C-alpha cells in the first residue's frame, strides 16, 4: 500500500495556502472544503495505510482533521495576504521613495514616489544597479548607510533625462533574513526652502540688532566730515582737511560693505576659507551683542573646510547669538570663538561664561523646538538645523558644560583637501 493520502500534505495544505493567498477569502474557503473531500476520496481509494482499514469512521475523522488544519492554514494565508496588501498600499501612497535592493545592490522593486523623484514614471527600475539611480556622497555600501542610521545632504538622482541633485534624507534598513535592504529616500526640497527662509529671517534679525550700532558708528565719521567740510570752505590748508574727509568717508564705506557682505547669500560651493569668514562674522556680531558681553576670537586654523560658506556662517551666528544671550542674562562676561585644526578636521568652538546648559536639557538640546529662551524669543530650530547641516558635510556638533562654568559648543568640519578653489569670503 502506498502512503496514506492524509500524509501527502502538498496535496492539500500547499494548494490551500497558495489559492487563499492569491485568490482571497472566497477562493480560500472553497479550497478548504474541497481539500476535506479530496482527502476522504483518497483514503477510500488508497486506504489509511500502515495496515489500517479505511473505515467510514476513520475517513470521517481524517477529513474533519484535515479540514480544520487547512482552515487554520487558510487563515494564516489570509493574514499574510492582508499584510502584503497593507504594505503595498502604504509604499505605493508614500511620498517617500522606497526601493527593495538585493545583496548585489540591484533594485528588485520601487514605489511610484521613486519614479516621481526621477521625473520619469515610465522608467523600468527592476534589475538596475542602485548606483545607476541614486548616488550618496561619501557612503560606500548599504551596510555603511544602515550603520549611520541615515544620511542627510545633497544626493544625485540619475534617470534618462539626466542627473538631478536634490536635498534628501536617505536610510537603509537591512531585512532580518537574507542580504536585502529597504532603501528609503525622502525629498527635503520643501523643508530646505523653509530652513533657508528661517536663515534669512535670522540674518535680518541680526542685521536689525546691528543697525543700532551702525547708527552710532556712522554718526562719528559723519560729524567729522561735516565739520571738516565747513572748515575746508575757509581754510587755506585744503589738502589736509580733504585727507580727513576722505579717511572718514572710507571708514563709512567699509562699514556699509561689511553689512552688505554679511547679508549676501554666499556661493553653494563645497570649499570655504574659514579665517576670513570668522573675522567678518565677529566684526558684525560685535555691533549686535548685548551690553556687557565681550566677543573674542582666536584662529589657530584659517584654511579651507569642506562646507558651504553661508551655512557655516549661519551655524556660527546661531551659536554666538545664543551664547551672548545667555551671558547677558547672567550679568555679562566673555564669549570666545576658537578654531583649532587637526589632521583631517577642524574644531570650531564657541565658549561662553554664562550659566551653562540645564542638565535636563542636554540629552534633547538638538531636537526641534527645544530652547532655553523665553517664549517668543526663539523658535528652538536653530540648533537642530545646525547639527543636521554639520552631519551633511561629514562633521559633528556637540554641546557640553565646562567644569569652570559656562557652556561649550564644538562644531567639527572636514578640512578641504582637493576639489574646486575655496569660496572667497569678503573681509570688508
Tell me how far apart the alpha carbons of residues 249 and 257 are, in angstroms, rounded to a whole number: 12
Q: pLDDT band at residue 115, thresholds of 50, 70 and 90? A: confident
Percentage of the chain lying above the pLDDT 70 cut: 69
| Set of cell numbers at residue 396 | 559633528
* SS3 label, residue 166: strand
- CA distances 23 to 5, 14, 15, 29, 130, Å, are 25, 14, 11, 10, 33
Give the pLDDT score at 340. 92
Terminal alpha carbon distance of the chain: 101
Q: In 336-356, which positions are buried (b, 16+ CB within 10 angstroms) versus exposed (e)?
A: bbbbebeeebbbbbbbbbbbb
Split at pLDDT 50, 70, 90, the class of 269 is very low
Comparing 69-73, 125-129, 249-253, 272-276, which segment has the lowest mean pLDDT?
Answer: 249-253
* Residue 322 region by backbone torsions, left for phi larger than 0, else alpha for psi between -120 and 50, else beta: alpha
What pLDDT, on the 0 to 100 scale, is given for residue 336? 94
Split at pLDDT 50, 70, 90, the class of 21 is confident
Written as nine digits, the cell of 386 is 545646525
The per-residue pLDDT for range 382-419, each reduced to its tens digit, is 788 788 888 878 889 999 999 998 999 999 999 887 65
Length of the chain: 428
> What are the pLDDT digits (tens) for 341-382?
888 899 999 999 999 988 888 888 888 777 777 665 666 677
**CATH no. of 190-265:** 1.10.287.130
**pLDDT for residue 412:** 93
268-428 is classed in which CATH architecture? 2-Layer Sandwich (3.30)
List, by residue range, all CATH 1.10.287.130 domains of the chain: 190-265
CA distances from 155 to 14, 84, 99 (A): 45, 30, 15
Lowest model confidence (mean pLDDT) among 59-73, 248-262, 281-295, 411-425:
248-262
Of residues 21 and 142, which shows the higher confidence score?
A: 142
- Write down the pTM of the prediction: 0.46
- Average pLDDT of the chain? 76
The secondary structure of residue 322, as a DSSP letter, is H
Within the chain, all domains assigned CATH 3.30.450.20 are found at 97-187
Q: Where in the chain is the domain with CATH 3.30.565.10?
A: 268-428
Angle at 317 between CA 307 and CA 222, to 5 degrees: 120
What number does CATH give the domain 97-187? 3.30.450.20
Choice among 37-41, 90-94, 109-113, 116-120 with the minimum mean pLDDT: 90-94
DSSP letters spanning 105-124: SBEEEE-HHHHHHHT-TT--
Question: What would the mean pLDDT of 178-188 be, rounded to a whole number?
Answer: 85
Across residues 189-210, what is the average pLDDT? 72
Of 217, 220, 180, 211, the closest CA to residue 98 belongs to 180
> What pLDDT sits at residue 222?
66
Mean pLDDT for the stretch of residues 230-256: 63
Residues 157, 117: contact at Cβ < 8 Å?
A: yes
Distances (CA, A) of 237 to 227, 229, 247, 300: 15, 12, 16, 47
Q: Comparing 103 with 35, which gets the higher pLDDT?
A: 103
β-sheet bridge partners, residue 273:
304
Arithmetic mean of pLDDT, 308-323: 85
Amino acid at each position: 500500500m502506498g502512503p496514506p493520502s492524509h500524509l501527502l500534505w502538498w496535496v492539500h495544505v500547499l494548494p490551500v495556502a497558495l489559492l487563499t493567498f492569491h485568490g482571497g477569502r472566497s477562493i480560500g474557503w472553497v479550497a478548504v472544503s474541497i481539500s476535506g473531500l479530496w482527502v476522504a476520496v483518497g483514503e477510500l481509494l488508497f486506504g489509511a495505510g500502515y495496515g489500517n482499514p479505511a473505515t467510514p469512521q476513520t475517513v470521517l475523522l481524517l477529513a474533519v482533521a484535515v479540514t480544520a488544519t487547512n482552515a487554520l492554514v487558510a487563515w494564516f494565508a489570509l493574514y499574510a495576504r492582508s499584510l502584503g496588501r497593507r504594505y503595498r498600499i502604504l509604499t505605493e501612497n508614500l511620498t517617500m521613495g522606497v526601493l527593495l535592493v538585493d545583496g548585489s545592490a540591484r533594485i528588485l522593486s520601487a514605489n511610484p514616489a521613486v519614479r516621481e523623484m526621477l521625473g520619469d514614471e515610465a522608467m523600468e527600475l527592476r534589475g538596475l544597479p542602485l548606483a545607476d539611480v541614486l548616488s550618496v556622497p561619501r557612503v560606500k555600501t548599504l551596510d555603511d548607510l544602515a550603520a549611520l542610521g541615515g544620511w542627510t545632504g545633497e544626493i544625485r538622482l540619475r534617470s534618462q533625462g539626466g542627473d538631478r541633485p536634490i536635498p534628501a534624507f536617505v536610510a537603509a534598513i537591512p531585512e532580518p533574513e537574507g542580504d536585502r535592504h529597504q532603501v528609503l529616500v525622502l525629498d527635503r526640497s520643501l523643508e530646505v526652502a523653509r530652513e533657508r527662509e528661517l536663515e534669512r529671517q535670522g540674518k535680518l534679525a541680526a542685521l536689525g540688532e546691528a543697525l543700532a550700532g551702525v547708527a552710532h558708528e556712522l554718526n562719528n565719521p559723519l560729524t567729522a566730515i561735516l565739520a571738516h567740510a565747513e572748515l575746508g570752505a575757509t581754510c587755506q590748508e585744503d589738502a589736509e582737511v580733504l585727507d580727513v574727509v576722505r579717511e572718514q568717508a572710507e571708514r563709512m564705506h567699509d562699514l556699509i560693505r561689511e553689512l552688505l557682505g554679511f547679508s549676501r547669500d554666499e556661493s553653494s560651493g563645497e570649499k570655504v576659507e574659514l579665517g576670513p569668514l570668522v573675522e567678518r562674522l565677529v566684526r558684525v556680531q560685535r555691533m549686535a551683542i548685548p551690553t556687557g558681553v565681550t566677543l573674542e576670537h582666536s584662529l589657530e586654523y584659517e584654511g579651507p573646510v569642506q562646507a558651504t560658506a553661508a551655512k557655516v556662517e549661519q551655524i556660527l551666528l546661531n551659536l554666538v547669538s545664543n551664547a551672548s544671550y545667555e551671558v547677558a542674562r547672567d550679568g555679562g562676561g566673555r564669549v570666545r570663538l576658537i578654531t583649532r585644526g587637526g589632521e583631517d578636521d577642524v574644531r570650531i568652538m564657541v565658549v561662553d561664561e554664562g550659566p551653562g546648559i540645564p542638565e535636563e536639557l542636554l540629552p534633547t538640546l538638538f531636537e526641534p523646538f527645544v530652547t532655553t529662551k523665553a517664549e517668543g524669543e526663539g523658535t528652538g530650530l536653530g540648533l537642530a538645523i545646525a547639527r543636521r547641516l554639520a552631519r551633511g558635510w561629514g562633521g559633528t556638533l556637540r554641546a557640553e558644560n565646562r567644569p569652570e562654568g559656562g557652556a561649550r559648543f564644538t562644531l567639527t568640519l572636514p578640512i578641504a583637501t582637493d576639489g574646486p578653489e575655496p569660496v572667497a569670503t569678503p573681509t570688508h
